[in-house]
Amino acid sequence: MTTTQHDRATVQLTLTPGAAEQVRKVIEGEGAPAATAGLRVGVLPGGCSGFKYSLSIEDQPADDDVVIEADRVRLFVDSFSGQYLNGVTIDYVVTMQSSGFTFENPNATGGCGCGTSFTV
């Protein structure tokens, strides 16, 4: 778990060891620059419950991002998303039927079966 405070915002995100390992593999597989690349964790309007999570690999953070170091992975969070992501745990889960990232969000008041959409 890492908390980063800048003059912009304080955001606390937890990336489990399994999720961190998977992100490192994806960054390496995409050939992104290891010294500056990271995982953008975002929240976008939409989805079946009002908001949806967004993950993408980026070569470097934007100027106004909060940058969080978690288990040798850099997480980039914009100010809009930070308010909804504070306290979130991101995991990578493998089951017999599927695999993917999951989000445990203490700010969510509801969600849906897809696991990537939530309400606050």
pLDDT of res. 5: 43
Classified as helix, coil or strand, 84 is helix
Pairing relation of β-strands 73-77 and 51-58? Answer: unpaired
Q: Where are the domains positioned within the chain? A: 17-119
- 39 closest CA partner among 82, 68, 2: 68
Give pLDDT, residue 109: 63
CA distance 49 to 97: 24
Q: What is the pTM of this model?
A: 0.81
User: Which residue positions in the chain have pLDDT lower than 50?
Assistant: 1-7, 114, 117-118
Q: CA 31, CA 53: separation in Å to the nearest integer?
A: 24
Four-way CATH pick for 17-119: 2.60.300.12, 3.30.420.40, 3.50.40.10, 3.20.20.100: 2.60.300.12
Q: Which pLDDT value is given to residue 75?
A: 97
Contact (CB, 8 A) for 63 and 76 = no
- Report the pLDDT value the prediction gives residue 57, as an integer from 0 to 100: 97
